[in-house]
Amino acid sequence: TSYTWFLSIIQNEFRCGKIDLDRTKKLLEKLQVPLNVAHVKHVFKKIVDKRTENTINMEDFRAIYRTIVHRAEFLELFSSYSRNKKLLTNIELIEFLRKEQYETKDCEMTALEIILKYEPIEEVKKRKQMSFEGFIRYMSSEDCSIFRKDHKTVYQDMNHPLCDYFISSSHNTYLVSDQLIGPSDLWGYISALSKGCRCVEIDCWDGSNNEPIVYHGHTLTSKIPFRSVIEVIDKYAFVASDYPLVLSLENHCSPKQQEVMAEYLEYILGDKLLTSVIGDTQVTQLPSPEELKFKILIKNKKVGTIEEGLIRRESGKHGEAVEISDSEDITEDDDTSDRAHLYPKRSGLKRKSEHRPSPSPRKKAKIKKKKIATALSDLVIYTKSEKFVSFEHSLSNQKCYENNSIGELRARKFVKNSAKDFVSHTSRFITRIYPKGTRTTSSNYNPQEFWNVGCQMVALNFQTEGLQMELQNGKFLDNGGCGYILKPDFLRNCNSTFTPQNVGSHGNPMSLSIKVISGHQLPPSSLSKTNKADPLVHVEIYGVPQDQAKRKTAVVKSNALSPRWEETFSFTVQVPELALIRFCVEDEVSLVSNEFLGQYTLPLMSLRRG
């Protein structure tokens, strides 16, 4: 039956004789098989190698099809459940689902659905059976993805206060290259928002003709109008997620241009902009992502209380500016202070304040008076930026709608020396971490160490590929990719005793066994003239320090089409709720260097058995 079905699909193509490479590719697509052009090309070339013309007949095509599609590891699996080695009956498929895929409920229903969805041969489908062709299509489908299906949509409780979630956050979103001389571009916002980012940063400066501009101050990065940025945000805010978007303003504008900013925000964003409280004006707890759906929040400094601002808005008394004192701490790796040190010194971008030992850093504080326009201040409701002084200070003075930004260097010291206080702080207040100013090439830090202590907004340079952004992307695949992930209970509880170094009773040990079986149609090595590579697979776990682990398979020599490893790795993970697992495939170029071929990262709790 398989052969008859196969012929019925392909024979029309061979009516006029032989076919070339292009038509071979089209025919494979018609057969709905996942194909990699480089591999098809190579297998095709191998067949026509000694011939005068570059065309193949029907038998040649069948050979190519089998080489690419009929994977040995699938055939072994299929044969171990199929009594007659040709077809899987409904009952045999159920047995496969129970034993191999750990399916427990509605197996009969599931088996029938799989047959209806993937079996290409009509008469086999009618008999409620599955051919090897159907089995291949099922095994290569999304239904066999390692990522749990129920985690591909929003499944978590979205009714907790905002501070109970990890929030996908971007740093200097307008930059698409480095931090000093590269372009600023609206694409930065489009790209981040399309990836489900829920907190974007806007650095605002006075521009000519009373038009505020966005760029990296004190540097040679190009400038874009604030108005254009807000128009793009208005258009793309909710393409990837319905949940609230926070605009984190780094505001360097004069009161006059701050009023222009406020006008643009209200005029362009309209009803999307949150300008009032939800419920009580006495805010004792942050609202939830659910309550703030499709809303845009402004994160900025604010004058006075929420109540005063609302009264002022109602009475229409806008237009004044209020001075607020802002103690700038130069020893902190603050975004602006770093840059001021950085740029004028042409020779070797060194920061003065970083290397000097300072016994009492607090003495370095200088009071800077900043003027803030009430029109802009009153648009800040639940996300008021507040200078971070200390954990004790926050505990006794900070309100639930006030949040802090802490530079990575200072935050790293807190993780090391006062993790318990840090966890207690992030259980109450939204905390944003940002890269140190010396990362002029837009490099990133490892976000995991700050998620481990419950920091909600761990801001990264989204434009820079690498392990750090891979962990970010992997973590936020969870919960339907909506950009909000509910923190584990021990990071939400104000009396938690959890620290990443000492998980104590909060550990929930899980034993994990992963068998790396095979690869299929991997990208060939850049050094290979054909479709070869010497691939190996790294399996890595990121989480609390004691869960960090790295293992790797042996190298399979010169095979990128269908390498087989058949290696099993076992791990014990103490805090699976915070763990990510990363698979990285490399080509061994020499004994000392490997070339990257591909990667995939996902939360450990989103991993499917089977």
Give the active site residues. Answer: 171, 216
Joined tokens for residue 88: 């899987």
Joined tokens for residue 64: 């190519």
Total count of residues recorded for the chain: 610
The CA–CA distances, whole Å, from 143 to 67, 104, 136, 479 equal 24, 16, 12, 18
- Closest by CA position to 537, among listed 570, 571, 561, 563: 563
Task: Report residue 366: phi and psi, to 5°.
Answer: -120, 140
- Closest by CA position to 354, among listed 275, 408, 295, 284: 408
Cβ atoms of residues 298 and 379 within 8 Å: yes
Cβ atoms of residues 257 and 212 within 8 Å: yes
- Closest by CA position to 246, among listed 426, 376, 380: 380
CB neighbour list of residue 399: distance below 8 Å, 6 or more residues apart: 283, 384
Neighbours of 530 (CB within 10 A): 16
- Closest by CA position to 274, among listed 284, 259, 286: 286
Question: In terms of C-beta distances under 8 Å and separation of at least 24 residues, what long-range contacts does 48-56 make, across chains too?
Answer: 53/18, 54/20, 54/21, 55/17, 55/18, 55/19, 55/20, 56/18, 56/19, 56/24
Given CA atoms 563, 568, 572, 576 in this order, what sign does their dihedral have?
Answer: positive
The CA–CA distances, whole Å, from 161 to 454, 568, 570 equal 14, 41, 37
